[in-house]
Every structure is written in structure tokens, then in C-alpha cells.
Amino acid sequence: MDLKLQKIIPQLITVLVVVLVFGFFTYNAQINMENRGIDFGYGFLSQESSFDVQFSLIEYDGSHSYFRAYLVGLLNTILVSVIGIIIATILGVIVGVARLSPNYLINQFAAFYVEFFRNIPLLLQIFFWYFAALRALPLPQDADAMLGVFFLTIKGLYVPAFIWENLNVFLYSIIAAIIAIVVIRIHARKVQETQGKQLPVFWISVGLIFILPLLSFLIGGVSLSFEIPKLKQLAATSFKYEGGLSLPPELIALTLSLALYTATFIAECVRAGIQGVGKGQKEAAASIGLNPNQVLKLVVMPQALRIIIPPTTNQYLNLTKNSSLAAAIAYPDLVLVFAGTALMQTGKAIEIVSITMLTYLSLSISISILMNWYNKKIAIKEK
Amino acid sequence: MFKYLKQLTSLVAMVAVLFTFTTETMAAKKSKTLKNTQKKGFVRCGVSQGLPGFSNADAAGNWTGIDVDVCRAVAAAVLGDANKVKFTPLSAKERFTALTSGEIDILSRNTTWTLSRDADIGLTFVGVNFYDGQGFMVRKSSGITSTSQFKDGISACTNIGTTTELNMRDFFNSKGISYEPVAFEKADEVVAAYDAGRCDTYTTDKSGLAAQRTKMSNPDEHIVLPETVSKEPLGPVVRQGDSVWEDIVRWSLNAMIEAEEYGITSANADSMKTSDNPAVKRLVGAEGELGAAFGLDNEWSLRIIKQVGNYGESYKRNIADTGILPDRGPNELWTKGGILYVPPAR
């Protein structure tokens, strides 16, 4: 009985303290807001926002609601995070492997990159890419076309837009190709396990992913044309491109700086992972007749990934949260649009900040759950 | 015996409670913010992060500008020394939260007086120290001389969290022009982006445009278009719920404007004590008991005029002589063709 009580009392006290602290802050805020005549409530979310946003993935203008403005910000945050994570991962793996290269020039270059970019504050890097690199870009009328159709200017990157016909057929053909590849892989594995024969799965996969979509063009009625950006004059010295797809320079600068910065940390995770696999493992794998490719794929990587994944998850979370620095360079992310403009226009500080915090928390937890699931999947399964 | 003792105790307690109440109301009349300010020994004032003419810090950290002068006037009235002000630079986004949360006591940061701000978010506007309107700046070389020459797809740089963002939408919508808003958190970044050519036009209050133009790499390359697309009465703001403090800030500003009207300057304020005009004598504290109404002495306005100067002096020192807006336009006294008109101090 005593022992049980001893266990319960500290827990009760903890709960009580948490509730009291939380209650105190709520009460305090309530009293102060009442004194100053500030209403509390989330009703403003359905009101008309009456401000425009520069760049949005969904249809939006000032006649939509504050909630819609919130979605615009959220989607922009997700967009920059996803692109950033993809680029950072690819770059990180390449640099991480490069640091272990026996080639002196390559590994020194990789080491220099890592030390340089991870030791400069991120905000400074964002400013560098946006203000310093941006100033060096040409005005729209002076821009030279890259490959005839890309225009990189101070007002953004203009690329041709795809105009599809029967896009759904094309997408189905890709899905069909992916399913076929999965089936063939399972079959090849069975063949290898039962008969010891190796099928050229890689080449078959490459063939499928090209041939099926190609067929959709030839017989599926799919056609594709491009809309190439055209220069438009706004005033004597003021131009812009029209048509095609335009990526705002804010998005480019932010993605670039986030990816370059986070890639350095991922590179170190990758290096740690590969170095963490014992030399004996590689030698043993080679001694049973696996070729270098198979050694990497079947022996080194599965073990290295276990070391790489957990710290890399942290880096993904960091990147997502760091994307809130967007406000400094006018990229309309969640913080700029919702916790910035919307907060200012409504004055609902507590409501908006709490929604924003909850949103970042949910985003981070989603990434965590996904990565933990993957980590569990590749963890050693003890039998 | 014991019975009586009990009654006596409750009587004493009741008297004590009543006494506390009366002293409490006396103190309340003096205003909580006023009391705190006098205890701290300085006025806590929120200003901009650097807008020449309004609130701008030099290399040594000395703040100047007409918004700064409002806070200095309050310090002169309340504490007797115009230099006893602690300035907190705030972004457009932070300013109201800083005021409502009690981090500052006056927000004097080129802030537009609107209905929703006044009524909705726990703020009270006390007056107008600059009548402004939103305008557009473009590069001279663009050949644009009027907003009617704007074309679809124009990109406009501005600040977030300002009325500018809303006016811009109203303006472009009414003209049926599609535009790309590029909104930054800090004014310096807006200027840098516009200067680099990221935007075709830069829009904010006209006074702000004139002030920021001086910061550009080559000010002569830019012009402010003649059209004014909105009303922007800028003025100091206080927290809702302390009416005495509100009155002090309001009348500190009014005293500066009225002093100009009666020709009282920092140089002649003392000699005005013997003036024949009772309105002048009231303003320099030689007649009447004006300060007592908000718990101050009678020379509060004299100190403002002597230490900070009248509105005209402040305008000349900060805005005209610095070349930002030499012409006072609507910010001239009503007696001289402007719209500056304040209630009489009596």
C-alpha cells in the first residue's frame, strides 16, 4: 500500500502542477484580454481576408476567407519543405559518399562544402541567395534564354508549361508500369531464391517505365505541347514574361538555401552510417562472391541505413521548421501569410499563434511518424 | 465583554476596508500607466525600425523624428525631462502586440488610425500627428508618370501587416489590373528588393516613400507618382482602458500643435508667461490649473514646448530640413490652409 502511494503521489503532484500552470496562464490571458476589450474566438477564420498573396498553389485572392489564406500558407510551407528535403537528401548522400572517396580532390572538396555551409547561419545564407545572388540576375528584357525556353531573371525563373491532352491516359500508363515492375521484382526474387538465377530486373524496369508511357503517346491519344514564356512590356524599362510557368525568386532562394544548408548535416549522417559498418562485413561479403554493387546494396547499405535514418529525421524536421525564415524574403509561407498578415489584420494574436504552433507540431509529428515507420521497417528483425 | 470585542474588530475591519477603497480610487485617478512610468523614471515608447523623419536612430543610437518627438513630449510632461524615453524599435507586425501586452506604453510608429484597429484589438488612437496617403514609387526610366499607366502583371513591393497591403488590393481591383504582391517583413528589405529591380513599383504611405527614397542607391532615379490612393491619418496609440494616460498623450500632442498656433516656440516660451493672451498663458502654465486634471503639475506643457518645441519646429527639424517633404501640405495649421486643428487647451 505504502509503496503504491509512493508511486502515485509524485505523479498526482506533477499533473496538478501542470494543470495549475496551464490554468494560471489561461486565466491571466483571459483577464487581461477582457480588461483591454479584446474578444477571443475563431470566428474570424470565415471572414473575408481582403489581402492578396503573391504565390499560391490553390486558387486564392482577397475575397476568400482567412481559413483559405491559412491553407495557402500551409501548402506553400509544405511545398518548400518537400522540395527542400528531396534536394537535401540527394545532395547529402552524394556529398556524404564523396567525403569517403579515395580521390583526394573529391573528398577535400566535399569536406570544404560541408564545413563552409554548415557553419554559416541559415538566415544569412537566405539573405545571401536572395539579395546578393538576386541582384546579379538580369532584368527580364536582358535575360538570355537557356536551351531556348528557360529564362532566369530577377523576377523569377520562367519555364515552359506543359499542355497535355488526355493526361489521365498518360498517368495510367505510368501507374501500370510501376505495378508491372513491382510484380516482376517479386517474381525475380522468387526465381533467385528457388533456382539461383538472376534476372536482369533493372533493365526490364527501365524499359517498362519508358515503353508504356511512350505507347500512350502513340496509340493512347496523348499529346503534349509547350507554352513558351513570352516577353511582355509593362512600361518603357519594365518587362515581365507571360505564359509558361513562373517560379518566384523567393521560392528558389529559400529552397536553395534550405537544401544546401541541411544537405551538409545529412552528408555527415551518411558518412557516419557508412563508416559505422565494420570493414569485416564488406570483406566477408566479398569473400562469399558478391560483386561490389551487391556488397553495397545487400550488405553495407541495409546496415548503414539503420545508423543514418534517425539523425536524418531530425534534419528533415529542422528543414521544415527552418522554412519559417521565409518571412525575411517575402516567400508567402505559413508564418508570413497567416502568422504575419492575417494576424496583423485581425489582431487575433493568441488564436493565430496557437493555430500556427499546432500546425508546425502536426507537420513535424507527421514527418516523425513516417520516418519512424521506415526506421522500424529496416531495423534488425531478430528471430 | 467578548461580544463587544468581536463587534469592535469587525468595525475596525470595515473602516479599514473603506479606507483602502478611497485611497485606491485616488490612486486610480492618477492612472496605473502614469504611476508605473513615474516609478520607472522613463517612458516606454514603441517606434519604427528606421523611417527617416518619423523615427530613425543615428549611429550613436539617438532617435529623432516627429513620432519620436511625441514620446519625448510625454516624457517632458510626465517626468520633466524629454530625454527620459526608452525606445523600442518594432516591425509593423509586432507593434500592436507589444502595446497590448504592456511591453510599451505609447506606440508612436507611423500607424494608421482605422476603425477596426481602434475598436477591435484593445487599442485607442489619441490623435493624428501626420496626415498621409498611400502612393506609388516607380523608376524614372520606366516612363510611368501616373498610376493610369500601370499594366496587367505589374509587381508591387510592400510591407506585410500594414493597411498598405489592403489598400493595394482595393486599388488594383478597382482598376481591374492584375498584380503580383511581394510583401516583406521589414522596410529595409522592401527597399532593397525594389532597388534591385524585383518589383516595378514600391507602395506605402507617401511620406514613407519620400523617406525611403533617400536610402536608395540612387534616389534621383525614382519618382513618387502624384496619385494618392487612400487616407492614412498617422498617430500615436495607447492601450485601451487607461483613460488618464490616454488624455496625457493626447494633450501632449495637442499642446505641441496649439503652441504653434499661438506662436509659442522653444525659444520664446518663458517670455510668453507675461503674454496678454490668456490662451497663451494657460499653455505656458502661467494661468489656470490644466495639469491637475491628469495628475501633473501646471508647467507640463511649458516643458514640452521648451524641451521638444512646437509641432512646426518638430516638423521643420525632422521632415522639412532633411529634404523628405519640404512642403507641409495638409499638415499645415488650419489657419494657414492645412487641416491641423486641435481642440482648445482650457
Mark whether A23 and A94 lie in a shared domain.
no
Residue A81 lies in a domain: yes
Topology alike, domains B32-131+234-336 and B134-230: yes
Mutation test of the interface with chain B: which of A66, A131, A139, A238, choosing the one with the most B Cβ atoms within 10 A? A238
User: Which residues of chain A neighbour B185 with C-beta distances below 8 Å?
Assistant: 327-328, 330, 336, 340
Q: Does A232 touch chain B (CB under 8 A)?
A: yes
pLDDT at A74: 95
User: Which residues of chain A neighbour B168 with C-beta distances below 8 Å?
Assistant: 52
pLDDT at A239: 82
Mark whether A194 and A275 lie in a shared domain.
no
Give the residue on A whose Cα is nearest the Cα of B146.
A235
User: Which residues of chain A neighbour B184 with C-beta distances below 8 Å?
Assistant: 328-330
Number of structural domains in chain A? 3
How far is residue B68's CA from residue B65's CA, in Å, rounded to a whole number?
Answer: 5
User: How many angstroms separate the CA of residue A238 from the nearest CA in chain B?
Assistant: 6
Mark whether A76 and A185 lie in a shared domain.
no
Give the residue on B whose Cα is nearest the Cα of A341.
B161
pLDDT at A152: 84
Candidates 3.40.50.2030, 3.40.50.2300, 3.40.50.300, 3.40.190.10; CATH matching B32-131+234-336: 3.40.190.10
- Residue B173: pLDDT band with limits 50, 70, 90: very high
For B342, counting Cβ atoms within 10 Å of its Cβ (0-12 exposed, 13-18 middle, 19+ buried), the class is: buried
Residue A239 lies in a domain: no
Tell me the pLDDT tens digit for each residue of A197-247.
777 888 888 888 888 888 887 877 777 777 778 888 887 777 888 777 888
Mark whether A279 and A188 lie in a shared domain.
no
Least CB–CB distance from B122: residue in A38, A238, A336: A38
Mark whether A352 and A307 lie in a shared domain.
yes
Tell me the pLDDT tens digit for each residue of B253-296.
999 999 999 999 999 999 998 899 999 999 998 888 888 888 88
B169/A52 CB distance under 8 A: yes
Q: Please tell me which residue, A39 or A68, carries the higher pLDDT value.
A: A68
ipTM of the complex: 0.77
Mark whether A325 and A214 lie in a shared domain.
no
Q: How many residues does chain B have?
A: 346
**What are the start-end ranges of the H helices in chain B?**
2-29, 32-40, 66-79, 95-100, 115-120, 163-175, 187-196, 206-213, 243-261, 278-283, 300-307, 311-315
**What are the start-end ranges of the H helices in B284-343?**
300-307, 311-315
User: Where are the domains positioned within chain B?
Assistant: 1-28, 32-131+234-336, 134-230
User: Which residues of chain B neighbour A332 with C-beta distances below 8 Å?
Assistant: 183
pLDDT beyond 90 at A134: no
Mark whether A271 and A360 lie in a shared domain.
yes
Residue A134 lies in a domain: no
Residue A116 lies in a domain: yes
- Residue A155: pLDDT band with limits 50, 70, 90: confident
User: How many angstroms separate the CA of residue A164 from the nearest CA in chain B?
Assistant: 25
B153/A234 CB distance under 8 A: yes
Candidates 3.40.50.300, 3.40.190.10, 3.40.50.720, 3.40.50.12280; CATH matching B134-230: 3.40.190.10
CA angle B226–B229–B234, rounded 5-degree value: 100
Tell me the pLDDT tens digit for each residue of B80-106.
999 999 999 998 888 888 998 889 999
Mark whether A253 and A277 lie in a shared domain.
yes
Q: Please tell me which residue, A204 or A123, carries the higher pLDDT value.
A: A123
Mark whether A323 and A365 lie in a shared domain.
yes
pLDDT beyond 90 at A109: yes
Mark whether A360 and A290 lie in a shared domain.
yes
Cell of B65: 523624428
CATH code, domain carrying A309? 1.10.3720.10
The three-state DSSP-derived secondary structure of chain A is CHHHHHHHHHHHHHHHHHHHHHHHHHHHHHHHHHHCCCCCCCHHHHCECCCCCCCCCCCCCCCCEHHHHHHHHHHHHHHHHHHHHHHHHHHHHHHHHHHCCCCHHHHHHHHHHHHHHHCCCHHHHHHHHHHHHHHHCCCHHHCCCECCCEEEECCEEEECEEEEECHHHHHHHHHHHHHHHHHHHHHHHHHHHHHCCCCCHHHHHHHHHHHHHHHHHHHCCCEEEEECCEEEEEECCEEEEECCEEECHHHHHHHHHHHHHHHHHHHHHHHHHHHCCCHHHHHHHHHCCCCHHHHHHHHHHHHHHHHHHHHHHHHHHHHHHHHHHHHHHCCCCHHHHHHHHHHHHHCCHHHHHHHHHHHHHHHHHHHHHHHHHHHHHHCCCCC
Give the residue on B whose Cα is nearest the Cα of A32.
B101
pLDDT beyond 60 at B23: no
Residue A213 vs residues A184, A185, A201, B5, B207: alpha-carbon distances, Å: 18, 20, 19, 102, 60
Residue A132 lies in a domain: no
Q: Does A101 touch chain B (CB under 8 A)?
A: no
pLDDT beyond 60 at B22: no
Domain that holds residue A263: 46-122+248-378
Mark whether A201 and A317 lie in a shared domain.
no
pLDDT beyond 60 at B26: no
Q: Please tell me which residue, A173 or B172, carries the higher pLDDT value.
A: B172
Give the residue on A whose Cα is nearest the Cα of B167.
A51
Mark whether A31 and A53 lie in a shared domain.
no
B192/A131 CB distance under 8 A: yes
Least CB–CB distance from B182: residue in A54, A238, A347: A54
- What global pTM score does this model have? 0.80
- Residue B16: pLDDT band with limits 50, 70, 90: low
